[in-house]
Every structure is written in C-alpha cells, then in structure tokens.
C-alpha cells in the first residue's frame, strides 16, 4: 500500500510540474530588441504590472510589448544618462525611487508624471549625506 501511495504522489507531483511548465513563456530581450543596454543593474515590477529596467544607459519601462525610455530627452530624469548604475524601488504609494551611484536619488510619481531629484548639498544638513545611493527601502511607517 505504501508503494502504491508513493507512485501516486510521484505521478501527481510530476503532473503538476508539467502543467506549471506550460504556463510560462520566456523571451530574450537585448539592446537590438528594445533595451538601452544589455547590462542591467536593477529590475522592478510595479503595482501596475510594468517592468522597470535599469541599464548602464538609462531607465526604461516595459509594458509587455514595448520599452519606453525615461531619460533627459523626455524630461523625466534630467542628466540620468550620465550615471550607469541604478537601484529601483517602488514605495507603498506607487512612487518609483531611483538611486544612482553619483547623482543622488530620484523619485518619480507615475500618476502626476513628476520627478523630484535629491542630491547632496554641503551647505544643507537636511540634504543627502552623499550622492552615492546603493540601496532604497521603506520602513514600517512608510518613510
């Protein structure tokens, strides 16, 4: 009886694996298929289902069909292309935060299509302590 139970469990488990394998399609995107660069530093899936991609040549958003670039040409992130490493984060309000290695921190409100840029200012003690932002996170209070 135990042997029959083991066989049934194995067949059931392998059946689920084959079902699950059929539910996913994988696509390989490169710079000749829409990405700004083949070198990625961060990925983020936002609450709207968009995939944000941070590359060495800038930030883009994938809607499942097309890549939309966010750079100085469309005024969302002035001077962003000068940096080549980014960290992406979405807070609980849906704001996209972009940390850079040399330009501080950007926050982008998708609803308002507005960007705020935070940088270190030596004469302002309330500014960022440095323009190198390696990681972005949120505490339990939403700060």
pLDDT at 9: 45
- Looking at the predicted structure, is the pLDDT value of residue 39 above 80? yes
**Which residue in 110, 31, 33, 24 sits closest to 65, CA to CA?**
33
- Looking at the predicted structure, is the pLDDT value of residue 120 above 90? yes
Structure confidence by residue, pLDDT tens digits, 5-37: 454 444 445 555 555 555 667 777 888 888 888
Structure confidence by residue, pLDDT tens digits, 61-113: 999 888 888 766 665 666 666 667 789 999 999 999 999 888 899 898 988 88
pLDDT at 14: 53
Facing residues of 60 across strands? Answer: 53, 69
Region 113-142: mean pLDDT is: 90
Phi and psi of 40, rounded to 5°?
A: -100, 145
SS3 call for 78: coil
pLDDT at 2: 55
Helix (H) or strand (E) holding 90: strand 86-90
C-alpha distances in angstroms, 99 versus 1, 110, 129? 59, 17, 13
SS3 call for 75: coil
Instruction: Give the rounded distance of the alpha carbon of 131 from its chain centre.
Output: 20
**DSSP state, 8?**
H
Q: How far apart are CA 120 and CA 131, in angstroms?
A: 6
pLDDT at 10: 47
């Amino acid at each position: 009886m135990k042997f029959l139970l083991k066989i049934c469990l194995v067949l059931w488990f392998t059946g689920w694996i084959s079902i699950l394998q059929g539910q996913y399609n994988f696509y390989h995107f490169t710079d000749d298929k829409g990405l700004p660069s083949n070198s990625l530093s961060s990925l983020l899936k936002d609450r709207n289902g968009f995939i944000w991609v941070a590359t060495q040549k800038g930030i883009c958003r994938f809607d499942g069909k097309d890549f939309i670039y966010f750079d100085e040409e469309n005024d969302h992130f002035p001077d962003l292309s000068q940096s080549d490493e980014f960290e992406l984060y979405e807070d609980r309000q849906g704001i996209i935060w972009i940390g850079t290695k040399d330009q501080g921190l950007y926050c982008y409100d998708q609803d308002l299509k507005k960007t705020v840029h935070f940088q270190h200012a030596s004469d302002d003690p309330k500014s960022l302590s440095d323009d190198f932002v390696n990681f972005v996170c949120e505490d339990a209070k939403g700060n």
